Amino acid sequence: MSPPHKPKQKRGLWSSRFGFIMASAGSAVGLGNIWKFPYVTGMHGGGAFVLFYLFCIFVVGIPLMLGEMVIGRHTHRNPVGAFNSLRGGPWTAVGWLGVISGFVILSYYSVVAGWAVNYLWLALQGTFSSQHASKVPELFAGLLSSDLGQLFWQSVFMASVIGIVLGGVSKGLERANKVMMPILFLILVFLAGYGVLSPGGPTALRFLFYPEWSKLDAQSMLEALGHALFSLSLGMGAMLTYGSYADEKTNLPTAAFTVSFMDTCVALLAGIAIFPIVFTYGMQPAGGPGLVFKTLPIVFSRMPAGSMFAVLFFLLLVFAALTSAISLLEVVVSYYCDEQKWSRNKATLVIGFLIFLLGVPSALSNNLLKDFHVIGDRNFLDSIDFLASNYLLPLGGLLITVFTGWVITTRVAKSEIEKGAVRFHFYPVWHFLIKYVSPVLVAIVFLHTIGLF
Ligand code: PHE
C-alpha cells in the first residue's frame, strides 16, 4: 500500500479535541434524532424496531464511526482523496458515493429544516400559547400546502448553511456548539420527564421499549440499520471528513464512542418526549413525517411558560439541523477544495446553490407535486430520503467497513488509533466487528431488501 500523499493545500484542524467531539456530535445529532427517529419508530411498530436500532448502533455504528475517523485522520483528505490515496482504483468510487450522498441528503434535509425554522418563527410570535392551542393541528398542514412558504424557509435555511461554511468551520461555531448542545440535551430531558408523567407515559414507554418481534420484518430492519447510519452521519464520509481535521493526539476511540452515545441518548429522549403526547391525545404513532411538528406544540400550548419553551426548543432544533447540514455541505466542499483546487468561497457558493436547486422538488412535494409519487406511494421528499437512508448509506457503510476491515492493513489501523499514546484495549473487538460482523450484517439486510435473496 502506498503511503498517503500529503495534501497540497493547507487544511484546517479543530482548535481543540473537545471541539472535534462537539462538532462530530453536532453532525450526528440533528433532525435524524428529533424529527426522524420518533416517526420511523412509530411507523415500524415501536419496541422491536428500537432494540434492533440499538443493536445496529453497537455492532455497525460505533465500529464504522471509528473506521471513518481512522481513514480520515490517516489521510487528512476528503472522502474521494482519502480512498484514492489509500488504495485508488475502484475504491475511489466509495468516496464519490459519499460526495453524492452529501449532495442528495442535504437537498431534502434543508426542506425539513425549513419547517423547523418556520416553527421557530411561529413560536417567536407566541403561536403556541394557550389561546391558540386549537390551531396547532392545522398549522402543519397549512405549512406543507404552501409552495412559496416551503421554498422561502428552505432558502432561509440553505443561506445560513452556506454563510457558515463560507467562513470555514469557524471557532464561533465550535464555541456555539459547546453551549447549545448541552442546553438542547437539558430541554429534552425536561420534555421527556414531562412526557413520562403525563397520562400516556406508561403506554408510550411500553410502545418504545417492549419488543413485539412479529412487527420486525426485513423492511423494518433495513430501515433501522439505515437510520442508525443516517443518525450517526455514517456511510458517506462525513465522519471521515471531520476526522481528517483531527490532530494526531486525538483519542479516536473515545471520540467515536462519546459521539455515538450522545446521539443515541438524544434520539431516545426525543422518543420519550413525543410518544406520551401521541398516546395522551389519541394520535396515530404511525403518523408519518409530521409527527414532531404535530405533537410537541400541543404540550407547549398547555404548559406554564410554554411559549418560552417553544422558542427555545425550535431554536435548538434549528441549531441541531444547522450543525448537521454544515457537515453534509462540508463533505462536498472539501472534495472540490482539495481535489479540484476550487477556492472555499467558490465551492461553497456553487455547490450550495446546486443543492438548493435539487431541493426544490422536495419543497414542492407536499403541494404542487403532491400527486407525483416516485417510490411506492411516497412523494418526492420521502422517496429521496428513503433512497438515501436505505440504499446510499447502507451501500456506502458496507463498502467502508469492508475497506477498513479487509483493505487497509491491521498495522495501519492500529498505529493510527494508537497515535498520541492512546491505549485501545478493545482493539481486537473492534477489529473483529468491523471485519466480520458489521459487513455481514449490512450485506444481509441490504441484499435481502433489494430482493437478491
Ligand atoms: N446525522 C444527521 C442527523 O441525524 C444527518 C446526517 C447524515 C448528517 C449524514 C451528516 C451525514 O440529522
Cα 275-276-280 angle, rounded to 5 deg: 120
Q: Whose CA is nearest to atom 11 of ligand 1?
A: 233
Higher-pLDDT residue of 402, 289: 402
Amino acid residing at 246: A
Closest CA to 353 of 155, 78, 168: 155
Ligand 1 lined by 201 (C-beta under 6 Å) = no
pLDDT digits (tens, 9 = 90+) for 391-448: 999 999 999 999 999 999 888 889 999 987 778 899 999 999 999 999 999 998 888 7
Q: Ligand 1, residue 321: give the atom nearest the CA.
A: 12
Q: What is the pLDDT of residue 441?
A: 93
| Highest averaged pLDDT of the listed ranges 146-150, 301-305, 307-311 | 146-150
Q: How far is the CA of 390 from the centre of ligand 1 (A)?
A: 14
The C-alpha atoms of residue 406 and residue 401 are separated, in whole angstroms, by 8
Mean per-residue pLDDT, 228-243? 95
Contacts of 44 (CB under 8 A, 6+ apart): 215, 216, 220, 223, 224
The C-alpha atoms of residue 398 and residue 316 are separated, in whole angstroms, by 32
With 60 as the cut, is the pLDDT of residue 298 above it? yes
Mean per-residue pLDDT, 162-169? 78
pLDDT digits (tens, 9 = 90+) for 43-71: 999 999 999 999 999 999 999 999 999 99
With 80 as the cut, is the pLDDT of residue 131 above it? no
Q: What is the pLDDT of residue 43?
A: 94
Q: What is the pLDDT of residue 6?
A: 46
Least-confidence region, from 2-6, 214-218, 295-299: 2-6
Q: Ligand 1, residue 235: give the atom nearest the CA.
A: 9
Mean per-residue pLDDT, 18-35? 92
Q: How far is the CA of 234 from the centre of ligand 1 (A)?
A: 8
Q: What is the pLDDT of residue 101?
A: 96
Closest CA to 295 of 15, 42, 6: 42
Ligand 1 lined by 260 (C-beta under 6 Å) = no
Q: What is the pLDDT of residue 5?
A: 47
The C-alpha atoms of residue 393 and residue 404 are separated, in whole angstroms, by 16
Q: The C-alpha cell of 76 is what?
A: 487528512
**Long-range own/partner contacts, residues 366-370 (CB < 8 A, 24 or more apart):** 366/144, 366/145, 366/150, 367/144, 367/145, 367/146, 367/147, 367/150, 368/147
Higher-pLDDT residue of 366, 180: 366
The C-alpha atoms of residue 421 and residue 206 are separated, in whole angstroms, by 45
With 50 as the cut, is the pLDDT of residue 8 above it? no
Centre a 10 Å sphere on the Cβ of residue 214 and count the other Cβ atoms it contains: 8
With 80 as the cut, is the pLDDT of residue 170 above it? no
For residue 43, what are the CA distances in angstroms to 36, 37, 212?
Answer: 11, 10, 14
The C-alpha atoms of residue 235 and residue 63 are separated, in whole angstroms, by 12
Q: Whose CA is nearest to atom 6 of ligand 1?
A: 233
Q: How far is the CA of 237 from the centre of ligand 1 (A)?
A: 11
With 70 as the cut, is the pLDDT of residue 166 above it? yes
Ligand 1 lined by 295 (C-beta under 6 Å) = no
Q: Ligand 1, residue 263: give the atom nearest the CA.
A: 4
Determine if residue 216 is left, alpha or beta; phi over 0 gives left, psi from -120 to 50 gives alpha, anything else beta: beta
Do 78 and 335 meet the contact criterion of CB atoms below 8 Å apart?
Answer: yes
Contacts of 392 (CB under 8 A, 6+ apart): 97, 100, 101, 104, 105, 235, 236
Q: Whose CA is nearest to atom 7 of ligand 1?
A: 233
The C-alpha atoms of residue 30 and residue 33 are separated, in whole angstroms, by 6
- How does 268-299 read in b/e, with b if 16+ C-beta sit within 10 Å? bbbbbbbbbbbbbeebebebebbbbbbbbbbb
Closest CA to 114 of 306, 393, 366: 366
Mean per-residue pLDDT, 302-318? 86
The C-alpha atoms of residue 328 and residue 286 are separated, in whole angstroms, by 28
Q: How far is the CA of 228 from the centre of ligand 1 (A)?
A: 10
Q: What is the pLDDT of residue 117?
A: 96
Portion of the chain with pLDDT greater than 70, in percent: 94
Mean pLDDT, the chain, whole residue set: 89
With 90 as the cut, is the pLDDT of residue 4 above it? no
For residue 294, what are the CA distances in angstroms to 39, 95, 190, 285?
Answer: 11, 38, 19, 11
Mean per-residue pLDDT, 239-244? 95
Going by the DSSP 8-state scheme, the letter that residue 421 receives in this structure is G
Do 13 and 263 meet the contact criterion of CB atoms below 8 Å apart?
Answer: no
The C-alpha atoms of residue 56 and residue 27 are separated, in whole angstroms, by 19
Q: How far is the CA of 366 from the centre of ligand 1 (A)?
A: 23
Q: What is the pLDDT of residue 16?
A: 82
With 60 as the cut, is the pLDDT of residue 280 above it? yes
| Helix (H), strand (E), coil (C) string for 344-369 | HHHHHHHHHHHHHHHHHHHHCCCCCC
Give the pTM: 0.92
Q: Is 75 helix (H, G, I), strand (E, B) or coil?
A: helix
The C-alpha atoms of residue 83 and residue 93 are separated, in whole angstroms, by 8
Q: What is the pLDDT of residue 312?
A: 86
Q: What is the dihedral angle through the alpha carbons of 91, 94, 95, 99, rounded to the nearest 10 degrees? A: 160
Higher-pLDDT residue of 101, 373: 101
Contacts of 120 (CB under 8 A, 6+ apart): 311, 314, 315, 317, 318
Domains for the chain: give ranges and CATH numbers.
18-449 (1.20.1740.10)
Mean per-residue pLDDT, 152-158? 97
Do 24 and 255 meet the contact criterion of CB atoms below 8 Å apart?
Answer: yes
Ligand 1 lined by 33 (C-beta under 6 Å) = yes
Q: What is the pLDDT of residue 304?
A: 81
Q: What is the pLDDT of residue 332?
A: 95
